[in-house]
Structure 1
Amino acid sequence: MGALDDRHSLSPRIKALAGLGLAFTLAIPVAYAFALDRPVAMLMRLSIPTNPPYLTLPLLVLWFWAIPQSFNLIDGMDGLATGLALLIASFLLVGRGFTGTPFLLGALLATFLLNWPKAIHFLGDCGAYFLGGLLGLLALRTRAFEFPSLALWVFAYPILDMALVITIRFLRGRPLGAGDRNHLHHQWASLIGERWAVPLLWLEAAALAVGPTGFPGSSWVCWPALVLMLAQCAFFVRRSLQESEKTPG
């Protein structure tokens, strides 16, 4: 789908529907795997029954649809998406020990070095969708049956960024599929410049992802980081609405 989008510039509706179909296809076997592995999954301290499989199927469809989409949305500055992918893969390796991640780390590192600080290689929609989908799969495969919240923490930044732009577009009465410059990286770049915005967002994403690693004191980092990220989103929503009121027409 990403390759077709790069070649033919698919409409947002087509991409959303195609992504939903692919997400449903991926979610069915995972839902059955959850049901066979354990009767209850703990997600953010909530007990979610996994049997019958259709109880978790909507959540998994949403996951497999939203993560590639959100990852593609943050691919707007040199090194941002590739750096985040490298960070997520590293936390999956360190935190929960997925054996396939080291091979992926080498590929991501090479791509990152070609993409930052000055990009000579670009992911495009094809690369961004692929990385988002692959990392979303690995996050669920990495002891997700024991600790499903791992996936939410390591992907907290792209999830919150996606929620931010959807909220702003909804409040401003704009189509949800319309592009704009209200993402976190755009907002921060307008305040401190792209040179500092990208490392800042990497740092915030790392602070959110450190929670599931089990390092001593990690919970004292991730929860304040989440509160800070939510406060930033609220600030940027207000800022975008104020700017829209000043714009003629």
Structure 2
Amino acid sequence: MFSARVSTAAAALALLAGPGCAAPGADAEQSGRDAASGAASPTLVRDYVTALAAASDPDRMREGLDLAEDGSTAHDYLRHYATLFQAWQDEGAPVRDSDVRSTPETHELCRTEEPAGEPSCVVYEDFTEDDERLVDLRVNGVDPGPRMSSADGGTDDSEGVRATFLSAYRTIDDNTLVVTADLTTVDEAGLDLDGATYVPDGSGDGRPASLAAGRHQLDAGSGTLAAFYFPRAEPGGELHLEGCLTDCSSTVELKLPVPD
């Protein structure tokens, strides 16, 4: 069986901040959202940002999904981070809530690194809504929509272990591809999350994950949400993950497509 490695939320906070601290307006990308969407109400935005800041409570984050139109950038962005922070909670290293600093035009979320470091801050602005649901937003001045992949349904199975793709997001500051997945097992299994690799489309060479989160040891009939970080990677490839059943009686080999 693979043994779970020791990790802390502190080791991941710079990446977990997502887009990082790039100057607003840098690398702006065009939104594909209908121009008819209007500026969002301050109350709707405030409630969404409050949910987004609740990193230590992924259930609270998921409650905020009702504030956004299903399938919109605002919905997919919040869902991705709720899943990501759930993976860290499953790992046993929950992430602290963000501090929120609001002005009439912007909302800045800052999370202090541990044990004592500079805060990692992200600015959210230019929210739009349609029929009282949030649709679009800007993250450090950039539309995150083109960087999101959220097509559900992709799966792979091996020895009773199933991987289901949930989401992928390329961070704005350094183009780290963060992939989230749901992992379940029929029998007791150990998963080598730290040994996960990403094989880009058209390439035979796997890139190792720089960071991974989730439970490594799964009891029979259980599961975990997991997250994997691949620096400077593009969606469209495959997540490769290995493990084994009890006493390594059988080897688990998963190849999960990551849609672009």
Q: TM-score range by the shorter chain?
A: under 0.3
Bigger fraction of residues in helix: 1
The TM-score with structure 1 as length reference comes to 0.27
The TM-score with structure 2 as length reference comes to 0.26
